[in-house]
Amino acid sequence: MTRAAASFARRATGVRWRGKGVYVAAVALAVFAVLNLIVAGQPWGIVYGLGLWGAKIATWAGWDLAANAFWGRPEQQAQIAAPLLDDATSVTNLGLLAGALIASVQRGTFAPHVQANGKQWIAAVVTGLALGYSARLAFGCNIGAYFAGISTGSVHGWVWFAAAFAGSVAGVRLREKLGLKG
């Protein structure tokens, strides 16, 4: 059954599922996800850390977040005042960046030459902001809400999956219209 599924996946998705790398990565992801749960007491997440970094930078710039509905709460104000390295999500985000850097340098894909027109740049910035903002509204991205949610038995991960699947269908069509295909 597993061999048949792997064979189907290879035929259906082309080169991405070739070789043993994808299986090694899947097992490594599972092992590190469990370790994250054991050490941090919570599943792996990303978006909270990015929001915290933004809140810290806004505070350094003189923005008072005390009136903000989320960051104004005492727990979050304490989090902003505490060192970044006290926050497990921020620490794993730093590890994620380091891992991406090492992998992209090894594959020779670091800082690829990008050719895009004005419309494509604007589309990338606007959709990137929408992606980040909606990830906070959804209480997580494909890691904190989807991967962590489903792997820990939470129904909200499956709800996230259904919404993201519908959004992806629309997004792929929008990419074609904006000339971002490929």
Interface segment toward another protein; rule CB under 8 A; list 4-12, 17-25, 102-110, 116-124: 102-110
- Per CB under 8 A, the list member of 139, 164, 175, 180 interacting with another protein is 139
Residue in the block written with tokens 């997004």: 171
Q: Is 67 among the residues that bind another protein (CB under 8 A)?
A: no
- Per CB under 8 A, the list member of 27, 66, 97, 174 interacting with another protein is 97
Q: Find all residues with CB under 8 Å of 181, minimum gap 6, and list them.
A: 175
Q: Is 79 among the residues that bind another protein (CB under 8 A)?
A: yes
Nearer to another protein, 17 or 139 (CB): 139
Distances (CA, A) of 124 to 51, 128, 166: 20, 6, 20
| Torsions phi, psi for 152 (to 5 deg) | -110, 10
Helix segments in the chain, DSSP class H: 2-13, 21-40, 47-60, 74-81, 88-107, 118-137, 148-151, 155-177
Interface segment toward another protein; rule CB under 8 A; list 2-10, 75-83, 117-125, 168-176: 75-83
Q: Is 24 among the residues that bind another protein (CB under 8 A)?
A: no
Residue 10 corresponds to which tokens in the numbers above? 């290879």
Residue 64 CB, nearest approach to another protein (Å): 17
Q: Is 46 among the residues that bind another protein (CB under 8 A)?
A: yes
Taking a C-beta distance cutoff of 8 angstroms, is the pair 52, 84 a contact? yes
Q: Find all residues with CB under 8 Å of 110, minimum gap 6, and list them.
A: 101, 104
- Per CB under 8 A, the list member of 70, 121, 133, 158 interacting with another protein is 70
Q: Is 118 among the residues that bind another protein (CB under 8 A)?
A: no
DSSP label at residue 126: H
Distances (CA, A) of 119 to 31, 126, 181: 42, 11, 14
Q: Is 42 among the residues that bind another protein (CB under 8 A)?
A: yes
Q: Which residues of this chain interact with another protein, rule CB under 8 A?
A: 37-43, 45-49, 52-53, 56-57, 69-70, 73, 75-76, 78-79, 81-89, 94, 97, 101, 105, 108, 110-111, 135-136, 139-141, 143-145, 148-149, 154, 156
